[in-house]
C-alpha cells in the first residue's frame, strides 16, 4: 500500500485544484501509420470548435497550413515527426490531446508521450484490423496500465465485418471489447450508429469533403427501422448478440485495462466524432496524481509538481529554441512561479511558459493537473526530470527503450570539433538519439543508437542546420543491445560480432549483429549475465 505523501490540511484552494483536475482528460491517440490519427485529431478539435476547418493542425497534402509539421524534412515527407499538445474545452471538460508522431520510426517519442497520459484512444483501420504498430503500442499501454478506448475508423470504406474485428481484438490482445456504438450499415455503407446504451439511432449526413462537423439526427429506436431499414435490424440483432456475450460497458474493467469501450467512426467524414468526445468527457479517467520514486503518492491537490516527458528543439525556423514539455501531476502552476528542478536542486524560473497548439504558441498563464506546460529556453531540463514547488518530490525516470539501429557519427569539418561535441551532448540530453562511446572508437566517433532509423535523420539534420556541425553517419551492422556488467566487458569485446559501448549514464551495453548471435552466445556462456533494456513492447 502507498500512503499520501503529504499531510497538509486541505483548503478551498485545494478544492479548486481538485475541481480543475477532475475536468481534465489527458490522452493520446495511438495507431499504426495511416489509420487516420491526424485526421481524427483534427476532427476532434473541429467538433469541439477549437478550430473551424479540418486541415488546420496537420496540413497534409491538399489541406491547409501546417502546425505540427515543424521541420523542412517533415514537410517534404508529409508526416508529423514531433509531438504537440492540443488543449481545448469540451462541455465541462478540458481536453488535453497529446499528439504523437505519425511515423513508426519515431515510436520512441510515442512511448515517452504515453508516460504523460491518463488514457489512450487506439485507432484501427476497419479494413486492416490490428497492425504491427497498433500491437506494439497496445503492449506499452497495457504495461503502464493505461485504459484504452478503441475506435474503428474508415467505416465509410469497404472493410471487415464489425463482429470479426471485435473477435480479432479479443483473441490477439486479450482485450474484451464493449462497444458503446454499433455501426448501422456495413463498412463502406456507413449510415450511422446505434447508441447501445440509449438504444437510439444516430444518423449522420455527409458534408462537402468532410471539412465541417457532420450534422447528426437522433432517431428513437421505434422510428429507426423507417429511417435505416434492414441495416437497423441487423445492428439491433448484432447488439443483442454482444449483450448476450457479456460485451456491455463495464467501468471497472475499462479502468483496469481488461475491457475497452469501442466506437465506430469515419474521421474523414466526421462521423462518430461527437460520440468519441462524449465518451472522453463522460468515461475517460481524470488525472489521479502519481507515484513518486519513494513509493508515496502525490494527490492532484497536493503542492505543485510536474515531470518532463519530452524535450524538443528547433520547432520552426523562426524560433530556434528548446521547449521542455512537462505534465502537471499536482497543484496549480502560474507563469513566473519559481520551481525547483529535482535532479539538481536548482531553482527554475518559468517566465517563458507556453501552451503550444500546433504551431500557434500562446503564453500560458496557469495550468492544472493533467495539463502540459511548454517551458521555453529550458536548457537544463531533460526527459524524466521532476519540477516541484515547496515540497520535494521525484518521479520515476522515463524508460529508455531498447535501440535496434546503430550508426557512428563523425563531424565533416574538423575545425568544428567544439560545436560537434556540444551538439552531440545536446541531442543526447534531449533523447533525440542515445549516444554510446568507447575508448576504442574515441570521442570523435560516438555511436548513435535509436529505436527507429529516422531518429538518425533528425539528428543529422539538427547537427547540420541548428548546431553548426554537419556529420556523416556510418551504419553499424548491429540489431540488438543488452546491458552487461563492467567486469564482463572485456570478455564480451573479444566475441565475434559483438561490441561493448558505454551510455552517457555509465551503463555498458553490448551490441550483437543479430538476435541469433545473442542467443548462441547466451547458450555457450550461461555464466555471463546480460540484461534486457526496456523493450518497446515492454514499455
Stretch that binds ligand G4P, among 36-44, 215-223, 352-360, 513-521 (CB under 6 A): 36-44
List 14, 38, 178, 400, residue binding ligand G4P (CB under 6 A): 38
List 74, 118, 156, 371, residue binding ligand G4P (CB under 6 A): 156
By CB under 6 A, is residue 31 in contact with ligand G4P?
yes
Asked if residue 289 belongs to a known ligand binding site, the reply is: no
Residues 6+ apart with CB under 8 A from 375: 308, 323, 324, 325, 326, 348, 350, 352, 353, 354, 381
Considering the complex, state which of residue 185 and residue 403 has its C-beta at the smaller distance from ligand G4P. Answer: 185
By CB under 6 A, is residue 34 in contact with ligand G4P?
yes
Stretch that binds ligand G4P, among 37-45, 134-142, 178-186, 449-457 (CB under 6 A): 37-45
Residues in binding contact with ligand G4P, number by CB under 6 A = 20
Strand ranges in 160-289 using DSSP code E only, listed in sequence order: 176-179, 181-184, 192-195, 201-204, 216-219, 259-264
Minimum CB separation from ligand G4P for residue 31, in Å? Answer: 5
Rounded Cα distance between 17 and 23, Å, is: 10
SS3 category, 38: helix
Cell 429506436, residue located: 221
Interface of this chain with ligand G4P, residues 41 to 60, rule: CB under 6 A: 60
Asked if residue 103 belongs to a known ligand binding site, the reply is: yes
Joined grid coordinates for residue 50? 477549437
Asked if residue 172 lies in contact with residue 130, where contact means CB atoms within 8 angstroms, the answer is: yes
Helix axes 230-244, 162-173, angle to 10 degrees: 20
Taking CB positions, which residue lies at the least distance from ligand G4P?
36
By CB under 6 A, is residue 39 in contact with ligand G4P?
yes
Interface of this chain with ligand G4P, residues 212 to 241, rule: CB under 6 A: none
Alpha-carbon torsion angle 67, 69, 71, 72, nearest 10: -110
By CB under 6 A, is residue 35 in contact with ligand G4P?
yes
First to last CA, the chain: 23
Minimum CB separation from ligand G4P for residue 168, in Å? Answer: 19
Name the residue among 422, 307, 463, 289 with its Cα closest to residue 375. Answer: 307
Considering the complex, state which of residue 266 and residue 305 has its C-beta at the smaller distance from ligand G4P. Answer: 266
By CB under 6 A, is residue 153 in contact with ligand G4P?
yes
Minimum CB separation from ligand G4P for residue 531, in Å? Answer: 34
Considering the complex, state which of residue 61 and residue 208 has its C-beta at the smaller distance from ligand G4P. Answer: 61
By CB under 6 A, is residue 160 in contact with ligand G4P?
no
Considering the complex, state which of residue 156 and residue 302 has its C-beta at the smaller distance from ligand G4P. Answer: 156
Minimum CB separation from ligand G4P for residue 41, in Å? Answer: 8
Name the residue among 249, 234, 151 with its Cα closest to residue 197. Answer: 249
Quick one: how many helices (H) and strands (E) in the chain? 14, 31
List 77, 128, 157, 441, residue binding ligand G4P (CB under 6 A): 157
Stretch that binds ligand G4P, among 7-15, 90-98, 149-157, 297-305 (CB under 6 A): 149-157
Interface of this chain with ligand G4P, residues 54 to 93, rule: CB under 6 A: 60-63
SS3 category, 193: strand
DSSP labels, 115-129: GG-SEEEEEEETTTB
Rounded Cα distance between 427 and 52, Å, is: 37
DSSP labels, 287-309: P--EE-TTS-EE-TTSSPEEEEE
Stretch that binds ligand G4P, among 34-42, 237-245, 344-352, 420-428 (CB under 6 A): 34-42
Stretch that binds ligand G4P, among 132-140, 154-162, 349-357, 468-476 (CB under 6 A): 154-162
Name the residue among 389, 288, 400, 290 with its Cα closest to residue 342. Answer: 389
Residue 424 has phi, psi (to 5 degrees) of: -60, -40
Considering the complex, state which of residue 193 and residue 424 has its C-beta at the smaller distance from ligand G4P. Answer: 193
List 101, 102, 289, 369, residue binding ligand G4P (CB under 6 A): 102
Minimum CB separation from ligand G4P for residue 102, in Å? Answer: 4
Asked if residue 183 belongs to a known ligand binding site, the reply is: no
Asked if residue 102 belongs to a known ligand binding site, the reply is: yes
Beta-carbon count within 10 A of 78 CB: 14
Considering the complex, state which of residue 269 and residue 473 has its C-beta at the smaller distance from ligand G4P. Answer: 269
Asked if residue 523 lies in contact with residue 390, where contact means CB atoms within 8 angstroms, the answer is: no
Considering the complex, state which of residue 154 and residue 482 has its C-beta at the smaller distance from ligand G4P. Answer: 154
Q: Which parts of 78-204 fold into alpha helices (H)? A: 107-113, 132-144, 162-173
Considering the complex, state which of residue 126 and residue 492 has its C-beta at the smaller distance from ligand G4P. Answer: 126
Considering the complex, state which of residue 268 and residue 315 has its C-beta at the smaller distance from ligand G4P. Answer: 268
Minimum CB separation from ligand G4P for residue 138, in Å? Answer: 15
Asked if residue 514 belongs to a known ligand binding site, the reply is: no
Residues 6+ apart with CB under 8 A from 360: 67
Name the residue among 520, 5, 500, 507 with its Cα closest to residue 301. Answer: 5
Rounded Cα distance between 254 and 103, Å, is: 28
Considering the complex, state which of residue 90 and residue 155 has its C-beta at the smaller distance from ligand G4P. Answer: 155
Residue 259 has phi, psi (to 5 degrees) of: -130, 155
Joined grid coordinates for residue 234? 441487423
Interface of this chain with ligand G4P, residues 245 to 284, rule: CB under 6 A: 266-268
Considering the complex, state which of residue 40 and residue 315 has its C-beta at the smaller distance from ligand G4P. Answer: 40
Residues making up the binding site:
99-103
Question: Residues interacting with ligand G4P, by CB under 6 A?
Answer: 31, 33-39, 60-63, 102, 153-154, 156-157, 266-268
Residues making up the binding site for GTP:
99-103
Amino acid at each position: 500500500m502507498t500512503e499520501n505523501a503529504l499531510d497538509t490540511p486541505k483548503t478551498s484552494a485545494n478544492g479548486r485544484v481538485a475541481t480543475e483536475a477532475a475536468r481534465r482528460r489527458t490522452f493520446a491517440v495511438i495507431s499504426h501509420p495511416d489509420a487516420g490519427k491526424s485526421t481524427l485529431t483534427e476532427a476532434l478539435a473541429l467538433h469541439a470548435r477549437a478550430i473551424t476547418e479540418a486541415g488546420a493542425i496537420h496540413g497534409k497534402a491538399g489541406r491547409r497550413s501546417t502546425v505540427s509539421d515543424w521541420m523542412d524534412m517533415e514537410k517534404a515527407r508529409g508526416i508529423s515527426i514531433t509531438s504537440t499538445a492540443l488543449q481545448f474545452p469540451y462541455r465541462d471538460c478540458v481536453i488535453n490531446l497529446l499528439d504523437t508522431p505519425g511515423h513508426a520510426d519515431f515510436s520512441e517519442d510515442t512511448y515517452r508521450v504515453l508516460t504523460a497520459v491518463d488514457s489512450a484512444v487506439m485507432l484501427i483501420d476497419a479494413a486492416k484490423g490490428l497492425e504491427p504498430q497498433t500491437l506494439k503500442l497496445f503492449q506499452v499501454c497495457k504495461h503502464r496500465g493505461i485504459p484504452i478506448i478503441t475506435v474503428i475508423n474508415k467505416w465509410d470504406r469497404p472493410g471487415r465485418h464489425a463482429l470479426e474485428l471485435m473477435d480479432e481484438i479479443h483473441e490477439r490482445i486479450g482485450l474484451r471489447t464493449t462497444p458503446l456504438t454499433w455501426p448501422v450499415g456495413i463498412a463502406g455503407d456507413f449510415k450511422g450508429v446505434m447508441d447501445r446504451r440509449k438504444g437510439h439511432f444516430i444518423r449522420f449526413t455527409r458534408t462537402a469533403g468532410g471539412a465541417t462537423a457532420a450534422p447528426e439526427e437522433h432517431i428513437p429506436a421505434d422510428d429507426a427501422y423507417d429511417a435505416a431499414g434492414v441495416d437497423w435490424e441487423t445492428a439491433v440483432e448484432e447488439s443483442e448478440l454482444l449483450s448476450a456475450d457479456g460485451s456491455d460497458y463495464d467501468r471497472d474493467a475499462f479502468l483496469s485495462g481488461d475491457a475497452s469501450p469501442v466506437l465506430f467512426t469515419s474521421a474523414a467524414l466526421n462521423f462518430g466524432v461527437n460520440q468519441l468526445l462524449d465518451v472522453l468527457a463522460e468515461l475517460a479517467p481524470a488525472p489521479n496524481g502519481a507515484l513518486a520514486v519513494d513509493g508515496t503518492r502525490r494527490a492532484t491537490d497536493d503542492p505543485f509538481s510536474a515531470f518532463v516527458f519530452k524535450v524538443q528543439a528547433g520547432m520552426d525556423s523562426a524560433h530556434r529554441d528548446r521547449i521542455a514539455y512537462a505534465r502537471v501531476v499536482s497543484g496549480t502552476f502560474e507563469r513566473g512561479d519559481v520551481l525547483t528542478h529535482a535532479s539538481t536542486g536548482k531553482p527554475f524560473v518559468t517566465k517563458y511558459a507556453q501552451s503550444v497548439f500546433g504551431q500557434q504558441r500562446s503564453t500560458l498563464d496557469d495550468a492544472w493537473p493533467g495539463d502540459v506546460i511548454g517551458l521555453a529556453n529550458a536548457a537544463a531540463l531533460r526527459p524524466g526530470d521532476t519540477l516541484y514547488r515547496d515540497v520535494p518530490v521525484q518521479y520515476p525516470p522515463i524508460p529508455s527503450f531498447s535501440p535496434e539501429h546503430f550508426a557512428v557519427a563523425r563531424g565533416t569539418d574538423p575545425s568544428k570539433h567544439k560545436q560537434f561535441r556540444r551538439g552531440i551532448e545536446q541531442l543526447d540530453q534531449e533523447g533525440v538519439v542515445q549516444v554510446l562511446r568507447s575508448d576504442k572508437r574515441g570521442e570523435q566517433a560516438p555511436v548513435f543508437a535509436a529505436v527507429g532509423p529516422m531518429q538518425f535523420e533528425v539528428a543529422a539534420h539538427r547537427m547540420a542546420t541548428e548546431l553548426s556541425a554537419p556529420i556523416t553517419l556510418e551504419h553499424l551492422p548491429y540489431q540488438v543491445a543488452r546491458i552487461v556488467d563492467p567486469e564482463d566487458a572485456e570478455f564480451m569485446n573479444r566475441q565475434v560480432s559483438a561490441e561493448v559501448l558505454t551510455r552517457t549514464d555509465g551503463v555498458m551495453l553490448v551490441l550483437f549483429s543479430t538476435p541469433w548471435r545473442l542467443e548462441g552466445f547466451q547458450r555457450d556462456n550461461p555464466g555471463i549475465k546480460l540484461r534486457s533494456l526496456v523493450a518497446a513492447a515492454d514499455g
